Amino acid sequence: MDTSQRSDPLVGIVLDARYRVDAIIATGGMSSVYRGLDLRLDRPVALKVMDSRYAGDQLFLARFQREARAVARLKDPGLVAVYDQGLGDDGGGLPYLVMELIEGGTLRELLRERGPMPPHAVAAVLLPILGGLAAAHRAGLIHRDVKPENVLISDDGEVKIADFGLVRAVAEAKVTSTSVILGTAAYLSPEQVGTGDAGPGSDVYGVGILAYELLTGTTPFTGDSVLAVAYQRMDNDVPPPSAAIAGVPPQFDEMVRRATRRNPDDRYADAAAMGAALHTIVDELGLPSFRVPAPFDSAQHVASEEYHSRVQKDGRATQTNPPPTPPRQHTMEMPRGPDDWHRAENRSTPGQFAGVDIDDLEWARQRGRRVSLFWLVGILTLTALVAAGAWTLGSNLQSLL
C-alpha cells in the first residue's frame, strides 16, 4: 500500500457509533487502513475500510461477513486478530474490518530499509507466519495472498500475517478483481494463475517465494507486465536462492525448491509440514534465535506520531492515558548485506557507546586505570620484599647452618 498524507473524509467519523477513525495509515487498490479507537473498550484498533465500489455488491458483502467471522475464530500468535466487522452505515456504507493494531510496520517496509536477510533472520520471520497459516489450514481456511505487504512486525518483535479471506471475497465480487492480480502476481501459485484454484499448497508456494525474496532481496520472476510475471511460473521452476546470492545454506535451497514445485502434490502438504521442515533446518544448522526488528520509517509509525501530536495539540480528552510514542528514528543509509542486520541491532544513540553514557564510560575507564595502577604497585612492592627476604636468607644461610 502507498502511504497517504492527504486529509481523508473518513478521519473523525465514528463507524457504527463505536469505532472512531483517527488517522490514515495506508491506502491501496482494495482498501484503506486507518488507526482508530474502539470507544466502547477505549483501545486503539486498526480499521481496514474497503473501497466504495464494494459497498453495493451483495455477493461481496455476504462473503466478506462470512470470511470475517471465520477468521475471527482463529487464535495463533502469528495471526493478526480480527475483532469485529461492519457495513459502516455512518461511513457511507463502506464495509470494514476491526483488527488488532500492530504498532510497527510491514515486512515490505523492513525489506526496503535493510535488504536481504541472513538465514537466522529469515527463519525468525517465516516460523510465526507458517504457524499462523497452519492454524488457518487446520480450520479449512486458505490465505491466497501471502506477500510482504500482508506480514506485520511489531515494535516488540512479533511477526503476524493479516488479510485472510479478503482475496476470496473480492474475487467473487461482481466488480473487477484486477487489483488482486496486480498485488499478488509475484507470489501466485501456478494453479492460481491457471485455474484460480487455491489450497494449502498455494499458501506454501507463496511462502516459498517469500523465503526466496527474504534471502536474495528480489522475487524469482520478472517481466514486462504483471501477467508476464504471473505466467512465467507455469513453465519455469523457481531457481535456488544461492544462484542469486552467496552464502545461502543448501538446506534453504532445498526448502524453497520443494515449497515452489509447480505441481501442488510435490510441495509440502500444508504450512504445518513446511514449518516442521524449517524447525529441522534451524536445529541442523544451529541457527541462533533472533528478534525481528520493526521498520523505523513505517507508515504506521508516521500515522501514530501524527495522531498523538494532534491529540496533544487539540487537548482531546477522549483518549485516556495514550501510550508514550518513542522518538521517530529515520532510516539510516546502510549497505545491503546480511551483516548489516547485526550492526543495525547494535546501534547506539549519540553520546553513548553500547548503551552507556560516554561520561560514565570515561569515568569508569579512569577508575579502572587507577585500580590497575594500585595493584601493579602492590605487586611490585610485594615482589621486592620477597626478593629482599630471599637475598638476606641466602646471605646468612652459612652462618645459620
- The helix/strand/coil state of 32 is strand
pLDDT of residue 171: 62
255, 267 in Cβ contact below 8 A?
no
Within a 10 A sphere around the Cβ of 321, how many other Cβ atoms?
6
Helices and strands of the chain, counted as H and E runs: 14, 11
- The helix/strand/coil state of 198 is coil
pLDDT of residue 210: 98
pLDDT of residue 313: 75
pLDDT of residue 371: 55
277, 133 in Cβ contact below 8 A?
no
Question: Which residues face 104 on adjacent strands?
Answer: 154
Torsion angle, CA of 207/210/215/217, rounded to 10 degrees?
180
Which position has the grid cell 469485529? 84
Count the residues in the chain.
401
Residue 85 — φ and ψ, nearest 5°? Answer: -150, 160
Residue 48 is placed in which grid cell? 481496514
The CATH superfamily of 14-285 is: Transferase(Phosphotransferase) domain 1 (1.10.510.10)
Tell me which of 145, 163, 270, 340 is the catalytic residue: 145
pLDDT of residue 358: 42
pLDDT of residue 231: 85
Rounded distance between C-alpha atoms, residue 164 and residue 142, angstroms: 7
60, 169 in Cβ contact below 8 A?
yes
H helices within 151-199, ranges in order?
166-171, 178-184, 190-194
pLDDT by 10s per residue, the chain, length 401 = 444 444 788 999 999 999 999 999 998 778 899 999 999 999 999 999 988 888 877 888 888 888 889 889 999 999 999 999 998 765 567 899 999 999 999 999 999 999 999 999 999 999 999 999 999 999 999 999 999 999 999 999 999 999 876 766 666 665 544 445 544 788 999 998 888 889 999 999 999 999 999 999 999 998 888 888 888 899 899 999 999 999 999 999 999 999 999 999 999 999 999 999 999 999 999 999 999 999 998 989 988 888 888 777 776 545 555 555 544 443 333 334 555 565 555 443 444 433 444 454 455 555 556 655 666 667 777 776 766 665 555 555 455 45
pLDDT of residue 310: 77
Span between the terminal Cα atoms of the chain, in Å: 98
pLDDT of residue 75: 92
* 314 belongs to the catalytic site: no
Rounded distance between C-alpha atoms, residue 3 and residue 325, angstroms: 20
Residue 202 is placed in which grid cell? 498455494
pLDDT of residue 267: 98
- The helix/strand/coil state of 328 is coil
